C-alpha cells in the first residue's frame, strides 16, 4: 500500500561519521544535533557512511532537509586542481598534528556532495555545521584552506592570529567573531551583541576553512584573522516559505556553559530552530504539490483503455532507459496520441511522461537522438576540460543560479495548477 505523505513527519537526513572502536568501524552522529532536530519538530534520519550508500540515496526519499556536520578533511581534489603551495614536509607535519581529521574519507565525501547538490537543485533546506559548511562551499565552486595555520595564521602578525583548534582545551576554547549586520546571525544573537563590537565568542574545532567563498553566498561572520565563520544564500533564505541554505564553521549546538546544558547565548539554538521551521514548511509545500485526489473507479471499457495506454508508456520507457524495442509502432502511437489529445494532465505529469519517453513514435529515431546527446556531452566535456578552475566555478555558479530560477518559476506554476484542479 502506498505511503500517505500526509502522515510522514518532516525528515532531516544526517550522514554519520565513521570511527574505530575496539578494532571495528562504528558510525555515529553527535547527540546534540539529534536532540535539537527532534525538539523542534522534525525527525532525524541517519544515512550510514558505508560503501555504496551514495548509490542508494533515492531510498531515503522523501527528503525534507539535510544537516551535514562533523567529519574528516574534504578531498582537496574536489576544490582545487593544484591543492596548495604546502611542501611535503609541511603536509606531513599537518597530518601528524591533526591525525584524526586528515585521513580523507572519499565515500563520505561522495555521499555528502551528492546530498548538498540535491539540496541546491531542489531548494531543500540545508544546514552545514563545521565540515558541513565546507562541503556546501565546495559544492558551489568555492575553495578551502588545506591548513589555516600554515596558509593563513603564520602569515599574520602575532596580534592578529587566531587559534582555531586547541586540543588542550577542546570544548572550552573560544575566540571572537564579528557578526555582519542584517544577516540571520545578527537576528539570532541581537540581544547578545554590542552595537560597536558586534562580537560573540564561538567554539572552534577545525584546521581547515573557507578560502574563497562561492559566488552565491554572503558572509555572516568573520574571525579577527579574516576567516569566514558563517555564510548563507540570501536568495534561498526564508524559513517560513521552506527556504534555508546556510553554513556555520563553529558549533552552536556545543556552545554550552561548563558542566551544563545551558547555552552560552540565547541565540545558540536558533540555527536549528529556523532550519527545522524551514524543513516543516518545505514538507508542507512538497505535500501540496504531490497530494492528488483519489481517482474515480473506472468502468470495464475505460479500464481496458487505461491498461493499453499504460503498456504504451511502459514500452516507451524501456526504449528510453535500455534501448530495447520489442514493440510495434502502433503500440507506441497510443501513448503519443493520448498525450497530444489529453488536456487533463498537469504540467508536472506531462513533463514526467515525456521524460520517460512516453511520446516516442519511432524507436530508431529516438535512439539516434540519444546517440547525438552522447556526442554533445562528450564535446562539452572536452571543452570544459580545457577551462580553468575559475572559469568552471563561474560557469557552475551561473547554472546554479539559472537552475534556482527555473525551479522557483516551475514550482509557482505547478502550485497554481494544483490550486486550479482543487477548485
> pLDDT by residue (tens digit) across 8-65?
789 999 998 877 677 777 777 888 999 999 999 999 999 988 888 888 888 899 999 9
Whole-number pLDDT of residue 292: 47
- 66, 125 in Cβ contact below 8 A? yes
Model pLDDT, residue 155: 81
Q: How high is the pLDDT of residue 422? A: 57
The mean pLDDT value of the chain amounts to 81
Nearest in space to 147 (alpha carbons), one of 192, 105, 90, 109: 90
> Residue 407 pLDDT more than 60?
yes
Residue 185 has pLDDT above 80, yes or no: yes
Structure confidence by residue, pLDDT tens digits, 358-367: 444 444 555 5
Residue 362's pLDDT is 45
Percent of the chain with pLDDT over 70: 78
Distance CA 30, CA 360 (A): 50
Residue 194 cell numbers, joined: 554590542
* Of 23-27, 104-108, 271-275, 378-382, minimum mean pLDDT range: 23-27
pLDDT value at residue 1:
40
Nearest to 66, CA basis, from 240, 236, 275, 210:
275
Q: How far is CA 125 from CA 55, 219, 231, 370, in A?
A: 21, 18, 14, 34
Higher pLDDT residue, 39 or 165? 39
Residues 44 and 38: their CA atoms lie apart, in Å, by 7
Q: What is the pLDDT of residues 294-342, one digit of tens each?
A: 445 666 777 777 777 777 777 776 666 655 555 566 676 766 666 656 5
Predicted local confidence at residue 327, as pLDDT: 58
Cβ partners under 8 Å of residue 329, min gap 6: 361, 362
**How far, CA to CA in Å, does 97 sit from each of 41, 91, 202, 219, 251?**
40, 10, 22, 29, 21
Determine the pLDDT at residue 359: 46
Return the percentage of the chain with pLDDT > 90, whole number.
37
Task: Give CA–CA dist 309/337, Å, rounded.
Answer: 10
Contacts of 328 (CB under 8 A, 6+ apart): none
Q: What is the predicted pLDDT for the residue at 86? A: 75
Residue of 54, 175, 206, 251 marked active site? 251
Mean pLDDT of 62-82: 85
Is there a contact between 199 and 179 (Cβ–Cβ < 8 Å)? yes
What pLDDT, on a 0 to 100 scale, did the predictor assign at position 207? 83
389 has a pLDDT exceeding 90? no
Dig out the grid coordinates for 214 from the structure.
562561492
More confident residue, 333 or 73: 73
146 neighbors 86 (Cβ within 8 angstroms): yes
Catalytic-labelled residue, pool 130, 140, 207, 400: 130
At residue 360, the pLDDT reads: 44
Catalytic residue among 72, 112, 151, 253: 253
Q: Is 160 one of the annotated active-site residues of the chain?
A: no
Bridge partners (DSSP) listed for residue 245 = 126
Lowest mean pLDDT across 88-97, 157-166, 198-207: 88-97
With CA atoms as reference, report the closest residue to 217 among 138, 281, 130: 138
Is 54 a residue of the active site? no
Residue 82 has pLDDT above 70, yes or no: no
Partner residues linked to 21 by β-bridges: 24
253 catalytically annotated: yes
Amino acid at each position: 500500500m502506498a505511503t500517505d505523505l500526509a502522515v510522514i513527519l518532516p525528515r532531516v537526513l544526517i550522514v554519520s561519521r565513521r570511527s574505530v572502536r575496539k578494532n571495528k568501524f562504528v558510525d555515529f552522529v553527535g547527540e546534540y544535533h539529534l536532540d535539537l532536530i527532534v525538539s523542534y519538530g522534525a525527525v532525524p534520519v541517519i544515512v550510514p557512511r558505508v560503501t555504496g550508500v551514495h548509490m542508494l540515496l533515492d531510498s531515503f526519499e522523501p527528503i525534507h532537509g539535510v544537516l551535514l556536520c562533523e567529519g574528516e578533511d574534504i578531498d582537496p581534489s574536489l576544490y582545487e586542481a593544484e591543492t596548495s603551495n604546502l611542501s611535503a614536509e609541511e603536509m606531513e607535519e599537518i597530518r601528524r598534528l591533526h591525525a584524526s581529521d586528515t585521513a580523507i574519507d572519499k565515500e563520505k565525501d561522495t555521499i555528502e556532495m551528492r546530498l548538498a547538490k540535491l539540496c541546491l537543485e531542489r531548494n531543500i533546506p540545508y544546514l552545514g555545521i563545521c565540515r558541513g559548511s565546507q562541503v556546501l562551499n565546495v559544492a558551489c565552486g568555492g575553495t578551502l584552506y588545506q591548513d589555516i595555520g600554515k596558509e593563513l595564521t603564520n602569515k599574520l602578525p602575532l596580534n592578529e592570529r587566531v587559534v582555531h583548534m586547541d586540543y588542550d582545551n577542546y570544548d572550552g576554547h573560544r575566540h571572537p567573531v564579528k557578526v555582519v549586520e542584517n544577516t540571520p546571525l545578527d537576528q539570532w544573537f541581537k540581544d547578545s551583541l554590542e552595537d560597536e563590537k558586534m562580537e560573540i565568542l564561538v567554539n572552534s574545532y577545525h584546521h581547515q576553512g573557507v578560502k574563497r567563498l562561492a559566488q552565491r553566498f554572503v558572509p555572516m561572520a568573520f574571525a579577527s584573522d579574516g576567516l569566514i565563520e558563517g555564510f548563507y544564500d540570501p536568495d534561498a533564505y526564508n524559513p517560513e516559505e521552506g527556504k534555508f541554505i546556510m553554513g556555520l564553521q563553529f558549533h552552536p549546538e556545543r556552545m554550552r556553559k561548563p558542566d551544563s546544558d545551558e547555552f552560552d547565548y540565547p541565540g545558540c539554538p536558533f540555527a536549528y530552530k529556523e532550519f527545522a521551521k524551514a524543513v516543516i514548511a518545505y514538507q508542507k509545500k512538497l505535500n501540496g504539490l504531490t497530494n492528488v485526489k483519489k481517482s474515480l473507479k473506472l468502468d470495464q471499457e475505460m479500464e481496458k483503455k487505461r491498461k493499453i495506454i499504460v503498456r504504451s508508456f511502459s514500452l516507451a520507457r524501456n526504449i528510453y532507459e535500455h534501448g530495447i524495442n520489442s514493440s510495434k509502432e502502433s503500440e507506441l502511437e497510443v501513448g503519443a496520441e493520448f498525450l497530444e489529445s489529453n488536456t487533463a494532465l498537469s504540467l508536472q505529469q506531462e513533463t514526467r511522461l515525456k521524460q520517460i519517453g512516453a511520446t516516442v513514435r519511432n524507436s530508431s529515431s529516438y535512439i539516434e537522438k540519444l546517440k547525438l546527446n552522447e556526442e554533445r556531452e562528450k564535446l562539452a566535456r572536452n571543452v570544459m576540460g580545457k577551462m580553468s578552475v575559475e572559469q568552471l566555478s563561474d560557469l557552475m555558479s551561473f547554472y546554479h543560479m539559472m537552475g534556482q530560477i527555473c525551479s522557483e518559476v516551475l514550482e509557482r506554476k505547478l502550485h497554481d495548477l494544483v490550486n486550479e484542479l482543487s477548485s
